[in-house]
Chains A and B, each alone.
Chain A
Amino acid sequence: MTIVMFVIVLLLAVGIGLYSRVGAGKSTADFLVGGRSFGSVVVFIMVVGEVYSIGTIIGFPGGVYAHGVGFAVWFMGYILLGYPIGYFLLPLLWKAGRQYNAMTLPDIFRGHFKSRPLELTAALIGVVFLIPWAQLQLTGLEVALNGLGLGLTPLVTVLIGVGISLVFVLLSGIRAPAFVSFLKDFALIAVILVVAGFVLNKVPNVATIITHANVGSEHTTIPGGAPMLNTISTLLFQTIGFYMFPFVIQAVLSGKSPVSIRYTQIVMPLYMLMYPFILLTSFFAISAAPGLTGADTNLAFIEVARQLLPDWLVGLVAGGAALCAIVVLAASALVIGTLFSRNVLTNISEARQKPMTQVVIFVYLAISIVLTLVVPTIMGTLINTAYYGLTQLIVPVLLMIFPTRVRPGAMAAGLAVGALTSIGIYLSGATLGGLNIGVPALAANLLVVGIGRLVSPAAEPTQSLAARRRRIPADSGAPAGWTHHTARKESAS
């Protein structure tokens, strides 16, 4: 029964993925950014679908199990504060996307700064630092399928997930993750509420669950010193990098207006009200499944499900969790292919971009499979690792908004130094007294940019994406081709 329910969930997802082809155009823009036609609801579902991955269902309880409330606070905090940043930043990125006919952030850099080195460096950072993100999804998938108790080998489990992701991407481009996200977002909430419901049925008192979580070691406070420094620095650092994720930017560029994107940001934090329920399960796991250490802490959530739920419901939960991984994996794979074919390899005709994208996706998934199987890692660490590099992209983004005389070459050098610094510190194993590794890497990035500005400033400051036009079309008549988006127009459509 377990496996039947699991298969039903995944077949439903594949069905929706195939259905998403209906009415889809065949152009590259359609494949990658849905023809830039998605309204508020679809953008909301896509962003939610891609932000709340299996890292939330499986990784979050594992992190709370291992590190207590300090982990929960940075995890919830950076997502929460990412939305106000998105409220101001995303309309500008959307506008730049239209202005430069962009499908990726490096496309926007190329259009704005006219710099090939900057485009290439940004694209490579996107490609490299999305590998831990795929590893995160595959690790979670392994845990979810493990929960089925079928005794599948890790290789088989990841191949199943990757196979379904490929079906989505190769058939329908961005439309499949967008459509399947509807089912996935529902499944995520359902899985969290069902398991929390069974926990409360077992121990009806929240205070008791939390008290038991403190037996052995303290899980409900953030001690001063290194743990607090880690929580605060990770929270703020990842807040800055939240909207630098290539697939989230791709979702934003697929929106049909900046107004629809702003609406989504206002509503986004309300979706987070699921976190109290998943925290409950996380705290319960500490006393219900004691003794998990290292990468095994990833099992905390699924262990609780297996202990409390009937078999058929475990199948449903595992299917829902697997779906979360598959959707995000599909979106990540798609954006990796896009970055590579558009921004890394040049001189490729539009017609060859699609097949090239598909080849790169195969390679990316293969590398991620190998890393997942060879280097099992705590899922929280994989999240951090992706952010170390991707957050570096905020520097050129800010320099598009605030005019400076920094040369694009200096920005590219800053990006490279920042990314390499984070990799160096990570591999050295230095703990920096709890400070998030990305912080000194970002400082190094800024230092290079600052030195570049002082030593070799550009002749003219760059133009700001936020600057107002001199003439308002309502006053002076808009030239043909200008598009005016207003809240009134959006709400009426």
Chain B
Amino acid sequence: MIPRTASVVIALITPITLVTLGVLLLGGSTATIFGIPLILLFMFIMFPVTSLLMWISWRLFDKHADYQLDEFEDAAAEVAP
């Protein structure tokens, strides 16, 4: 169940980065589109975009991932502290 790096970048890192940057950049803006503040419009767009990103990762990488319930034979090395 170790995910591919590309899958993590697409489905996890991309939406988190987009939302964080979007809030920081658009939060103070008084601009509106059809009367709706830009920051809210951005958040609404991110709903389907986040779904889409996860779906892309699913189709490309995770659909055929190994979901085995498994026993481990080797002790893993510690991650770098």
Query: Which residues of chain A have a CB within 8 Å of any CB of chain B?
Result: 69-70, 72-73, 76-77, 80-81, 83-85, 87-88, 91-92, 95, 98-99, 205-208, 210-211, 220-224, 228, 231-232, 235-236, 239, 257-259, 262, 265-270, 272-273, 275-276, 279, 402-405, 453, 460-461, 463-470, 472-473, 482-488
> When chains A and B are docked, how far (Å) is the Cα of A80 from the Cα of B74?
37
Q: Which residues of B contact A267 (CB under 8 A)?
A: 51
> When chains A and B are docked, how far (Å) is the Cα of A95 from the Cα of B70?
9
Establish whether residues A210 and B32, one from each chain, have CB atoms under 8 Å apart when the complex forms. Answer: yes
Which of the residues A206, A273, A488 comes within 8 Å of B35, measured between beta carbons?
A206
Establish whether residues B28 and A88, one from each chain, have CB atoms under 8 Å apart when the complex forms. Answer: no
The secondary structure that dominates the A interface is helix
- In the complex, given contacts A81-B16, A461-B75, what are 15 additional A-B residue pairs having Cβ atoms less than 8 angstroms apart? A73-B27, A206-B35, A207-B32, A207-B35, A210-B37, A231-B23, A265-B54, A404-B81, A461-B77, A463-B75, A468-B70, A469-B68, A472-B66, A472-B68, A486-B67
> When chains A and B are docked, how far (Å) is the Cα of A221 from the Cα of B64?
44
> When chains A and B are docked, how far (Å) is the Cα of A211 from the Cα of B40?
14
Which of the residues A220, A467, A485 comes within 8 Å of B2, measured between beta carbons?
A467
Q: Known: A228-B28, A231-B27, A461-B76. Is A80-B46 also a contact (CB below 8 A)?
A: yes
Establish whether residues A223 and B28, one from each chain, have CB atoms under 8 Å apart when the complex forms. Answer: yes
Q: 1/0 per residue B7-32: CB within 8 Å of A?
A: 01001100110011001100111101
Establish whether residues A259 and B67, one from each chain, have CB atoms under 8 Å apart when the complex forms. Answer: yes
Q: Known: A77-B19, A467-B76. Is A207-B2 also a contact (CB below 8 A)?
A: no
> When chains A and B are docked, how far (Å) is the Cα of A438 from the Cα of B4?
31
Q: Which residues of B contact A268 (CB under 8 A)?
A: 51
CB distance from A428 to the nearest CB of B (A): 28
Q: Which residues of B contact A210 (CB under 8 A)?
A: 32, 35-37
Which of the residues A228, A236, A262 comes within 8 Å of B62, measured between beta carbons?
A262
Q: Which residues of A contact B40 (CB under 8 A)?
A: 69, 72-73, 220, 276, 279
Query: Which residues of chain B have a CB within 8 Å of any CB of chain A?
Result: 1-3, 8, 11-12, 15-16, 19-20, 23-24, 27-30, 32, 34-37, 39-40, 43-44, 46-48, 50-51, 53-55, 57-58, 62-64, 66-79, 81
CB distance from B49 to the nearest CB of A (A): 8
Closest to A485 in B: B67
Q: Which residues of A contact B35 (CB under 8 A)?
A: 205-208, 210-211
Closest to B42 in A: A73
CB distance from A166 to the nearest CB of B (A): 36
> When chains A and B are docked, how far (Å) is the Cα of A453 from the Cα of B3?
27
Q: Which residues of A contact B67 (CB under 8 A)?
A: 91, 95, 257-259, 484-486
Best-surrounded residue of A73, A92, A95 (most CB of chain B within 10 A): A73
Chosen A-B contacts, 11 in total, with CB atoms closer than 8 Å, are: A73-B40, A81-B50, A84-B11, A221-B37, A224-B28, A235-B19, A262-B62, A265-B54, A269-B47, A460-B75, A465-B1
Q: Known: A98-B69, A403-B78, A461-B78. Is A232-B11 also a contact (CB below 8 A)?
A: no
Q: Which residues of A contact B51 (CB under 8 A)?
A: 266-270
Q: Known: A207-B32, A232-B23, A461-B77. Is A95-B12 also a contact (CB below 8 A)?
A: no
Closest to A259 in B: B67
CB distance from A52 to the nearest CB of B (A): 14
Establish whether residues B47 and A469, one from each chain, have CB atoms under 8 Å apart when the complex forms. Answer: no
Establish whether residues B11 and A87, one from each chain, have CB atoms under 8 Å apart when the complex forms. Answer: yes
CB distance from A7 to the nearest CB of B (A): 35
Establish whether residues A266 and B58, one from each chain, have CB atoms under 8 Å apart when the complex forms. Answer: yes
Establish whether residues B66 and A468, one from each chain, have CB atoms under 8 Å apart when the complex forms. Answer: yes
> When chains A and B are docked, how far (Å) is the Cα of A258 from the Cα of B62?
11
Q: Which residues of A contact B24 (CB under 8 A)?
A: 228, 232
Establish whether residues B78 and A404, one from each chain, have CB atoms under 8 Å apart when the complex forms. Answer: yes
CB distance from A263 to the nearest CB of B (A): 8
Q: Which residues of B contact A224 (CB under 8 A)?
A: 28
> When chains A and B are docked, how far (Å) is the Cα of A98 from the Cα of B46?
34
Q: Which residues of B contact A84 (CB under 8 A)?
A: 11-12, 15-16, 50, 53-54
Q: Which residues of B contact A235 (CB under 8 A)?
A: 19-20, 23
Establish whether residues A99 and B69, one from each chain, have CB atoms under 8 Å apart when the complex forms. Answer: yes
Q: Known: A69-B37, A69-B39. Is A270-B54 also a contact (CB below 8 A)?
A: no
> When chains A and B are docked, how far (Å) is the Cα of A433 from the Cα of B55?
38
